[in-house]
Amino acid sequence: MNTQKTMTTGAWLELTLLSLIWGGSFLSIRLALNEIPVMTAVAHRVFWAMLILWCYILIRKHPIPRSPKIWGAFLVMGALNNVIPFVLMGWGQLHIETGLTSIMNATTAVFGVVVASILFADERLTWNRAAGVLLGFLGVTTAIGLQNLTQFDIRSTAQIAVIAGTLSYALAGAWARKTLSSLPPQVAAAGMLTGAALIMLPLAFAVDGAPSLNLSLTAWGAVGYYSIIATAGAYLLYYRILSMAGSGNLMLCTLLVAPVAIVLGALVLGEDLAPRAYAGFALLALGLLVLDGRIFGILRKAP
């Protein structure tokens, strides 16, 4: 069972802020995709976020890595944590609701536990983690709908693409632990986004052509939000909360993001999720609470 740090009022406020920021990112990405192709939208995200983080690092005078091995690790990390999941989830959002995308995004923590248990000897799959993983996967299959797993229309394919993106996130977490754990997290994030930009800029140009600057204020605002606030700013806030509250408490953010995205999708886009999506999210949330051991602490405190 994971040991939880005490959550101060400040930590709760910042955790809530991060959840609101990331919850809003799903809506902003969908709004941008109304005018910008997927590859170009992702290129915008990693490029502008990269510039912001390098400015932060220069101002704070963090040492910049010079080892070719580290920069090679940044390239792989950028592919696993940015290029692959951003492209898959962006394409998926063209065909499924933003709220449903955010629910499936929560499976990142479930895949993370499975991947870590396979690759690292000190991350064994304890019984409560195994139970949490099973509940998590049950929640995902419930949200997708068992009948949709037997047919491959564009909607079911989009859902599978989003799930594949969360698996890539989990692999990125393992890669970061193996290759980048010695670096300040802000430097690792900037290097990762640099690797992603080196991949995405030529890829977007090859697939979508030269990016159009003739966009509406809504599209530009969406790009600014998801690249500067929900990527660069959110990374900095994430690591600040991690140092204050620990990774176990930070998992709560995963549970708070989806309701924010669901509400925004309903209010702005008129989305109406099927009841099975909410049932699936409830199972997934329970799985995450079981997975990190939090629910057992709650039960012990109950009268």
> What is the per-residue pLDDT across 212-258, written as a single tens digit (0 to 9) for each?
999 999 999 999 999 999 999 999 999 888 888 776 677 778 888 99
The pair of three-digit structure tokens given for residue 288, joined into one six-digit string: 């995450």
pTM: 0.90
Q: Is residue 2 part of a domain?
A: no
Task: Give me the pLDDT at residue 2, please.
Answer: 46
Report pLDDT for 23: 94
Is residue 3 in a domain? no
Query: Token digits for 80?
Result: 């696993």
Mean pLDDT for each 10-residue chunk of the chain (303 residues)? 63 90 96 97 98 96 94 97 97 95 90 88 82 88 73 85 95 92 92 98 97 95 97 92 76 84 93 90 86 62 58
Q: Which of 254, 15, 296, 264 is nearest to 139 (CA)?
A: 254
Q: 271 CB contacts (<8 Å, ≥6 apart)?
A: 97, 98, 99, 262, 265
CA distances from 69 to 14, 93, 169, 299 (A): 35, 35, 21, 47
| Residue 138 domain-assigned (yes or no) | yes
What is the SS3 assignment for 6? coil
Quote the number of domains for the chain: 1
At residue 150, the pLDDT reads: 65
Contact 277, 143 (CB under 8 A): yes
Fill in the amino acid letter for 222: A
Phi, psi of 196 (to 5 degrees): -65, -40
Owning domain of residue 71: 9-301
Residue 114's identity, in one-letter code, is V
How many Cα atoms occupy the beta-carbon half-sphere of 72 within 13 Å? 3
CA distance 244 to 238: 10
Cβ–Cβ contacts within 10 Å for residue 156, how many? Answer: 18
CA 277 to chain centre: 19
In a domain, 109, yes or no: yes
